[in-house]
Structure 1
Amino acid sequence: MQAMDLLGMYPTFYVPGIGTGWVMGIIGVIHVVASHTSVGASFLFALIETRAYRRNEPQLMDFIKRYGLFLLIFSYVIGSITGPGIWYSITVASPRGVGGLIHNFVWVWAAEWVFFTVEVIGVYALVYLIGKVDARTHLKITWSFALASWTTMLLIVGILSFMMGPGSAAWYRTGSASDAFFSSNCFAQLGVRTGLMFVMASVVGLIVASRLPDADTRRGMVRFLALVGLAGGLFMALMSLFYVRTLPHNAIVLLDFRLLPDYARDLAAVLAVAALWLVFAWCRPDRVYTSLAVALFAFVAVAGVWPEERMRESMRKPYVAGRYIYGDQVIARDVPGKGIKEEVDRIARDGLLTLHPFVPDRLRTINDGNLLEAGQLLAKMACASCHALEPGAPLRDLPDEFHRATDEDLIAAYLRGPLRHGTQPYMPRIDLPEDEIRALAHYLAVDDSGRDVDRLIAQERRHALLARGKE
Structure 2
Amino acid sequence: MDFPMFHLDWLNNRMLIAGIATLHVIINHGLAVGFIPLVTWLEQKGLRRSGTNQITDLEWDEKVYKMMKVAFIITTTIGAMTGVGIWFSASLISPSSIGSLIRVFYWAWFTEWIVFVTEVILIMIYFLSWKKSNSSLRAKIRHIRFGWFLAIASWITMTIIVAILGFMMDPGNWNSNPNLINGFTNPLYLPQLAFRTPMAMLMAGVFGLLLATIFTKYGTKIRQDAVKSISKWIILWAPFTLFGAVWYYKAIPEGMTANMSTAVGTMDFAQYYGLLKYFIIGGVSLSVVIAVIGLFKAKVIRPYMVVLPVVFAFAFLGFFERVREFVRKPYVIGQYMYSNLLLEEDMVVYQQDGILKHATYTSVNEVTDDNKLEAGKNIFMLACSRCHTGQGVNSVVDVFERMYNNGQPLHVDMMTAYIPNMHFGRNYMPPFPGNEAEAEALAIYIRHLQDSGESIEGVQTEGVMINSDYTVKAVINKQNKTNDNEDDK
Interval of TM-score (by shorter of Structure 1 and Structure 2): 0.7 to 0.9
Deviates more, 1:255-264 or 1:375-384: 255-264
- Matching of residues 174-323 of structure 1 within 5 Å: 174-213=177-216, 215-255=220-260, 259=264, 262-272=272-282, 274-275=286-287, 276-290=289-303, 293-294=306-307, 297-298=310-311, 300-301=313-314, 303-323=315-335
1:182-229 deviation per Cα after TM superposition (whole angstroms, max 9, x unaligned)? 133111111211122112212221232013346212112122223323
Q: Per the alignment, in what secondary structure is the counterpart of residue 320 of structure 1? A: strand
Name the counterpart of 1:47: 41
Q: Per the alignment, in what secondary structure is the counterpart of residue 332 of structure 2? A: strand
- Matching of residues 73-88 of structure 1 within 5 Å: 73-88=73-88
Could you tell me whether the CA contact under 8 Å between 2:192 and 2:248 is conserved in 1? yes
Inter-CA distance 217–446: structure 2 relative to 1 (3 Å threshold): same
Name the counterpart of 1:28: 21
- Matching of residues 72-471 of structure 1 within 5 Å: 72-127=72-127, 128-129=129-130, 130-132=133-135, 134=138, 135-166=140-171, 168-169=172-173, 171-213=174-216, 215-255=220-260, 259=264, 262-272=272-282, 274-275=286-287, 276-290=289-303, 293-294=306-307, 297-298=310-311, 300-301=313-314, 303-332=315-344, 342-360=345-363, 363-390=364-391, 393-394=392-393, 396-402=394-400, 403=402, 405=404, 406-419=410-423, 424-447=426-449, 449=450, 451-453=452-454
Inter-CA distance 39–63: structure 2 relative to 1 (3 Å threshold): farther
Deviates more, 1:150-159 or 1:263-272: 263-272
Could you tell me whether the CA contact under 8 Å between 1:222 and 1:285 is conserved in 2? yes
Name the counterpart of 1:337: none
Could you tell me whether the CA contact under 8 Å between 1:375 and 1:443 is conserved in 2? yes
Identity %: 26
1:280-306 deviation per Cα after TM superposition (whole angstroms, max 9, x unaligned)? 4445534444455456534543x4333
Task: Structure 2: give runs of 5+ residues left out of the alignment.
Answer: 265-269, 405-409, 457-489
Inter-CA distance 46–258: structure 2 relative to 1 (3 Å threshold): closer
| One-letter amino acid of the structure 2 residue matched with residue 85 of structure 1 | G
Q: Distance in 2 between matches of 1:50 and 1:183?
A: 37
Could you tell me whether the CA contact under 8 Å between 1:227 and 1:278 is conserved in 2? yes
1:87-132 deviation per Cα after TM superposition (whole angstroms, max 9, x unaligned)? 1111111111101110011111111112222222222222223314
Shift in Å, 1:453: 4.1
Could you tell me whether the CA contact under 8 Å between 2:109 and 2:160 is conserved in 1? yes
Inter-CA distance 68–249: structure 2 relative to 1 (3 Å threshold): same
| One-letter amino acid of the structure 2 residue matched with residue 20 of structure 1 | N
**Aligned residue pairs: how many?**
428
Q: Distance in 2 between matches of 1:306 and 1:369?
A: 47
Q: Distance in 2 between matches of 1:432 and 1:289?
A: 60
Q: Taking structure 1 as the reference length, what is the TM-score of the superposition?
A: 0.83
Inter-CA distance 374–226: structure 2 relative to 1 (3 Å threshold): farther
Q: Distance in 2 between matches of 1:346 and 1:208?
A: 58
Q: Distance in 2 between matches of 1:188 and 1:212?
A: 36
Q: Distance in 1 between matches of 2:279 and 2:83?
A: 29
Q: Distance in 1 between matches of 2:397 and 2:201?
A: 41
Inter-CA distance 258–51: structure 2 relative to 1 (3 Å threshold): closer
| One-letter amino acid of the structure 1 residue matched with residue 412 of structure 2 | E
Shift in Å, 1:11: 1.1
Inter-CA distance 446–282: structure 2 relative to 1 (3 Å threshold): farther
Shift in Å, 1:439: 0.6
Inter-CA distance 454–160: structure 2 relative to 1 (3 Å threshold): closer
Could you tell me whether the CA contact under 8 Å between 1:263 and 1:307 is conserved in 2? no
Could you tell me whether the CA contact under 8 Å between 2:263 and 2:327 is conserved in 1? no
| One-letter amino acid of the structure 1 residue matched with residue 397 of structure 2 | P
Q: Per the alignment, in what secondary structure is the counterpart of residue 343 of structure 1? A: helix
Shift in Å, 1:63: 3.2
Task: Structure 1: give runs of 5+ residues left out of the alignment.
Answer: 1-7, 333-341, 456-471
Q: Taking structure 2 as the reference length, what is the TM-score of the superposition?
A: 0.80
Give the CA RMSD over aligned residues.
2.5
Shift in Å, 1:237: 2.1
